[in-house]
Amino acid sequence: MIDAYFQLIRIIGKVKRWIRIKGLIEGILLSFSILLGLVIVFSILDYSISFNSTVRLYFLIGLILSIVILLIKFIVIPLLSPLTENKIALKIQKRYPALRDDLINSIQLFPIASLRDEVYVSKALIGELIRRTSQKAKIVNTFEVEDIKRLKKFFFISLSVSLIFSFLLFFPPRILPFSLPRLLRPLDYEQVNRLLQVTPGNVEVLHGESQKIGVEIFQRGRTPYLIYKISGGNWQRAKMLRESYSEGEALKFSYKFSKITQPIDYFIKWKDLRTQAYSISVVILPEVGDVSVKYIYPSYTGLPELKMEKTSGNLEALLGTQVQMTLKANKPIRKGFLLTDDGKRLPLKIEKDLYLEGGLVLTGERVYWVEVEDTQGYTNPSPIKHYIKTLLDNPPQIKIIAPGCDLTVSEKSKVELAYEASDDFGLSQIDLVYQKLTGETYDSMKPGRIRIERFQPSVGQKLLDYQWEMEKLDLHPGELISYYLEAWDNDTISGPKSSLSQTYYLEVFSYLKEHEDIEQMEHHFREEILRILGDQIVAKSKVEDWSETQGVEELKSIHADQGRIEKLTEDLLNYLKELLPRMEADPLGNFQVYSEYKNMKGNLQYLKDEKMAEVLSTISEAVKATSADRKEYMEKVKNNQEEIISELEKMSLLAQDLLQDEKMRDVLGTAQELLNSQTDLTQKLEEMGKEIDKHKLEELKKSLAEISKLMAKLAKSLSQLPQTLPEEFINQDAIKSLELGEMSSDIEKMADKILKGDLEAALNIAKNLLRTLSSTMAILQAAASQVPSFGASSQLSQKANEYSRELERLIAEEKELIDRTNQLDKKRLEALFKKQESLLKKLAKLQEEVIKKTKKLQENLKGKLNYIKAYPALYQNLSVVLKRMEEVLSELSGETPRRARELLKKSIKRLNSMLGLVDKFILKIEKEKEKISDELSKLSKEKEKEKEKELTPQEKSLLSLRENWEGKERDISETREKIVELREKEEEIAKLLEFKEEIEVFKKEDILELERLTKKQKELESRTGKLKQKLEELSGKTSAIGPEIISNMEKASLAMDEASGELEEKKTEPALEKEREALYYLAQGKEGLASASKKLMELAKKGGKPLVGFLQPRGGTLPGGRMGFREGYVKIPEAHEYQPPKEFRQELLEALKEKYPEIYKELIKQYYRRLTE
């Protein structure tokens, strides 16, 4: 039992020793890891922050204390703590559950069993328990009782910390070699400080400045190094520079940091000594940026406030704008000021330390800057200069839109001004400024100003008009006035500004005198027309009297006379070119007269370019023609001259009527002006009452003078110049009974009363005179209405429209006639085609036989190409002919002989050329045979002399050669006969192809239709002739109906006559040509008549109205509309509205299917020729 017990004790002892050893190892490893970790952390911090010696001393003391504490806690205390056998037994039982509680029971029961006294437990049982337990305890492994996981963990922690320590010790940046000496010897720097003196030590520098580091060494030795580290970087080493020093002084070294922007830690290393670490701190000076501004514009601009964030600081706004600014600083600010270059110093309000607020008013171009001071007392020594740019309120803009040019006006006219004004912030008023440039006195030439518009409230842009009454300016003919518009803005800061429009000029012109000059020119025009008419009548008489006996010289003389007439016509056209612009600008003229003269110009141009040119051309042809043909040419000349004379007579009569109508209108105008002046005078007398105003009295005198002048003019027109007025007007009883003398006497009486101051009596006379003038005006207007040409434009327009409708009916019926004729012509062609079809089949068979013979001949020639020299050429030509023959056969078989005739002609021509080759070769054979015969004859004579009878070899050879040529001759003659046969066959086919209409193709009902068409065509011809006569009559009343319209109608009538003749002869094809020609001339006439109708409609609307409201500059080159301008809605056409009507497009497509009339043939050729040039 005892042995077993001690065996158990030994096992427990081993386990106890292992637990002690394991605990010691764990305590050592944990303490080592903690201490080494503290050293590593402190070294890294010291490397980064560079602690001073005091901090390092405290850390060393703390490290030593930590070692003691760790040794006591993790080593001494665990070693001294009691481990009883019971605890060990429990640990073993816990590790080995098989022992259950036997081990602890054995340990606890053994002392009881050892007692000598009796116990309540059997000692034998205890001994047995101990023995069994000792046997079980053999399974106990000392090292397995206590778990070693914790030991492993502490080991790996120690190993990791050791590896980190080794890395920091041996690998860059080698933190431990730097920090450990500082840690273990923190008090050594006191000794260093006795040998080394570092300046400036810890220091603050401004951002971007440089700093010099100096050291004085009080002992001889080598050059020190500066060890430094920029914030966030690694430690670096720099060799310090030696400075000059005196004998006995300490050694001096320095190093300079340039443009420091980040904090720097540094120390000096000399030999094995190191100074403590110092730092260079960077001080950032205060700055301001992120300038946000708010512009508050002057109230007159109406502009809203404008906020702008994070600007550059430069200010740009209108003069007088208030600017509120917010600036952000880079660090807390204690105070700030806004300074300007004109000496102002404005304090800024500080908000939330970093923000400054202030403001100023823009009064001009300035420079400003901001000065601030931070909480450390630093200021911004070089603040950024900002510019203040003041925008000026632009002056207003104004432009005169209409009339927009220099004008010639009357002293009583009204000038309509249209203008556009604008300003960037608002217009306040518009003035019209004018000045007489010519005058009797200086005062009369002073500028005048009229306020024509004031804006309340102001507006930015406006398009306006103003009626300027010239009558109020007391103008006289010949005076020149300049004028412009002046626009003012609403600037209340720097004062209203103005700008001027372009200056224009008004020439005061007596357009009455201009109107009279124009009437004189119109009179001269009529005289020239009469002169040309007389010359043309004389020239016509020479043509009528001419006979062949007078010869060519007389024709040349007639040609020269006609050339002079053409030159006079050209001069008259140039005269009209000068007259028409003056008529167009004449406010006293009327649209009817102007339009008639404009139309007469076009008619004259037509006569010159067409009729007179044709007369000259025909005379020239007559000179070159034979005697037999000259009579026909001269008849054509006479007919054209008659047309010219007729048109000139109508122009002459129309010009006379226009002159008389104008004079009549002048009379009516004078009467109306007299009535208006009397009305104004009466109104002025009524306004004056009984009190006499000197200024108004002068106005009355002027009005009286004007009335007297107009009365005299009216009396002269009606009594002294009656021949210039229409007879229907001047010969009326009402006109003859007018008492103009009595009215003149009333005017004198009224003037006398006014001069005497008896305004009441003057007013009564004025009223009576006004009633008399009103009745006179009514009489004149009634008389004018009796003149046929006065106001007849509407009737002429109605007639033109009526004739235009008749012409449209003629065109429609002629088209229908063409359609019916076309149907008959189609029937004719169908009958011809049927006949042609049977003929083509017959010709195809003939052509097929010809081809067979041609192929046979070709095969025959192919085998003899080397026999006769001509055969290769014949073979090649025959191949070409055969190819064409096959093309002819193809067309004949297909019944479409389009090129058959042409191909047959070419084949026949080629066959003829082949016969030429054959004939040449036969001729050559004949010559060769003749030569051989000559040789044989010579040889025969020689044989006779020698009396030889046998043939010599030479004779035999010649005879053989002759036989050969004779064989060739027979062969080629046969070939020639075959070629001739082929040619004759082709000629026969070609002749048959020249098919002509030799049969009656129309049936009985078709012949009846032809008779109806003939009758209808004659009817249309008759109606066309009557319409021509009506148009001729109308052309005598207005020049809108020109000679070209009449000529087209005449040509249409002639074409219809020829068409009816062709229809009578049952020739539908030429009849169609003439019908289409007639339709063409009818269409041309319709176009001309439509243009004339449009002109007459315009005459009906504007006939009695003046052309313009004021005169244009005479000979002026300035732009501007004749009638001024009008505002109104203008509809812009849609895209589809440019497309012609469907009916018109359909008519064009149908027309394209038809053959063009013969008269267009030459025109079409010329058109395409021009396209290719």
* 610 and 678 fall within a common domain: no
The helices-and-strands tally (H runs, E runs) of the chain is 29, 27
The answer to whether 956 and 855 have CB atoms below 8 angstroms apart is no
Cis-peptide into 788, omega within 30 deg:
no
Question: Does the pLDDT value for residue 518 go beyond 80?
Answer: yes
The answer to whether 137 and 103 have CB atoms below 8 angstroms apart is yes
Least confident of 449-458, 907-916, 1098-1107: 1098-1107
The amino acid at 1076: R
* 274 and 331 fall within a common domain: no
Give the range with max mean pLDDT: 94-98, 686-690, 790-794.
94-98
Mean pLDDT of the chain: 80
Q: According to the model, what pLDDT value does residue 705 have?
A: 76
Question: Does the pLDDT value for residue 19 go beyond 70?
Answer: yes
CATH code, domain with 616 = 1.20.120
Cis-peptide into 395, omega within 30 deg:
no
Q: According to the model, what pLDDT value does residue 264 have?
A: 92
Is residue 507 assigned to a domain? no
Question: Does the pLDDT value for residue 255 go beyond 90?
Answer: yes
Question: Does the pLDDT value for residue 898 go beyond 80?
Answer: no
Q: According to the model, what pLDDT value does residue 1118 have?
A: 32
Is residue 410 assigned to a domain? yes
- Residue 763 CA from chain centroid, whole number: 69
The answer to whether 985 and 849 have CB atoms below 8 angstroms apart is yes
* 682 and 781 fall within a common domain: yes
Q: How confident is the model at residue 929 (pLDDT cuts 50, 70, 90)?
A: confident
The amino acid at 301: T
* 407 and 364 fall within a common domain: no
* 374 and 414 fall within a common domain: no
Give per-residue burial for 179-209: e unless 16+ CB within 10 Å, then b. bbebbeebeebeebeebbbbeeeeeebeeee
Give the range with max mean pLDDT: 13-27, 239-253, 358-372.
358-372
Structural domain range at position 267: 185-283
Cis-peptide into 173, omega within 30 deg:
yes
Q: According to the model, what pLDDT value does residue 147 have?
A: 76
pLDDT, tens digit, for every residue of 1065-1078?
888 888 888 999 99
The amino acid at 503: T
Q: According to the model, what pLDDT value does residue 626 have?
A: 79
Q: What is the DSSP letter of 1003?
A: -
CATH code, domain with 461 = 2.60.40
The answer to whether 112 and 121 have CB atoms below 8 angstroms apart is yes
Q: According to the model, what pLDDT value does residue 1033 have?
A: 84
Least confident of 35-49, 188-202, 798-812: 188-202
* 675 and 753 fall within a common domain: yes
* 162 and 20 fall within a common domain: yes
The answer to whether 832 and 1001 have CB atoms below 8 angstroms apart is yes
Least confident of 157-166, 269-278, 713-722, 1104-1113: 1104-1113
Three-class SS of 752-793: HHHHHCCHHHHHHHHHHHHHHHHHHHHHHHHHHHCCCCCCCH
CATH code, domain with 306 = 2.60.40.10
Q: According to the model, what pLDDT value does residue 722 have?
A: 56
Residue 333, token pair as written in the block: 């600010």
Query: Cα-Cα-Cα-Cα dihedral of 223, 225, 226, 229, to 10°?
Result: 170
Give per-residue burial for 9-37: e unless 16+ CB within 10 Å, then b. eebbebbbebbeebbeebbbbbbbbbbbb
Q: What would the mean pLDDT of 574-586 be, rounded to a whole number?
A: 86
Is residue 1116 assigned to a domain? no
Q: What's the pTM value of the predicted model, to 2 decimals? A: 0.45
Q: What would the mean pLDDT of 922-949 be, rounded to a whole number?
A: 80
Is residue 500 assigned to a domain? no
Q: According to the model, what pLDDT value does residue 1127 have?
A: 39
The amino acid at 585: A
CA triple 165-167-172, angle to 5 deg: 125
Report the distance separating Cα 655 and Cα 403, nearest Å.
Answer: 33
The 3-state DSSP class for residue 307 equals strand
Least confident of 345-354, 528-537, 790-799, 969-978: 790-799
Q: According to the model, what pLDDT value does residue 1115 have?
A: 36
* 475 and 434 fall within a common domain: yes
Is residue 1148 assigned to a domain? no
Q: How confident is the model at residue 310 (pLDDT cuts 50, 70, 90)?
A: confident
Q: How confident is the model at residue 999 (pLDDT cuts 50, 70, 90)?
A: very low
Final residue before a domain boundary, out of 329, 361, 391: 391
Q: How confident is the model at residue 188 (pLDDT cuts 50, 70, 90)?
A: low
* 655 and 677 fall within a common domain: no
Least confident of 371-375, 564-568, 627-631, 732-736: 732-736
Q: According to the model, what pLDDT value does residue 1108 have?
A: 54
Q: According to the model, what pLDDT value does residue 567 have?
A: 92
Q: If you compute the radius of gyration of the chain from its CA atoms, what whole number of angstroms results?
A: 68
Is residue 171 assigned to a domain? no
Q: According to the model, what pLDDT value does residue 637 have?
A: 87
* 346 and 302 fall within a common domain: yes
pLDDT, tens digit, for every residue of 115-164?
665 555 566 777 777 777 777 777 877 777 777 888 888 889 889 888 98
Q: According to the model, what pLDDT value does residue 767 have?
A: 80
Report the distance separating Cα 1017 and Cα 1020, nearest Å.
Answer: 5
Final residue before a domain boundary, out of 616, 637, 663: 663
Give per-residue burial for 1056-1079: e unless 16+ CB within 10 Å, then b. bbbbbbbbeebbbeebbbbbbbbb
Is residue 805 assigned to a domain? no
Is residue 506 assigned to a domain? no
* 273 and 295 fall within a common domain: no
Number of domains in the chain: 7
* 639 and 605 fall within a common domain: yes
Owner of token pair 């006591």: 72
The answer to whether 398 and 420 have CB atoms below 8 angstroms apart is yes
Q: What would the mean pLDDT of 543-566 be, rounded to a whole number?
A: 85
pLDDT, tens digit, for every residue of 352-390?
778 888 988 888 888 999 998 888 888 888 888 888 898
Final residue before a domain boundary, out of 723, 757, 785: 785
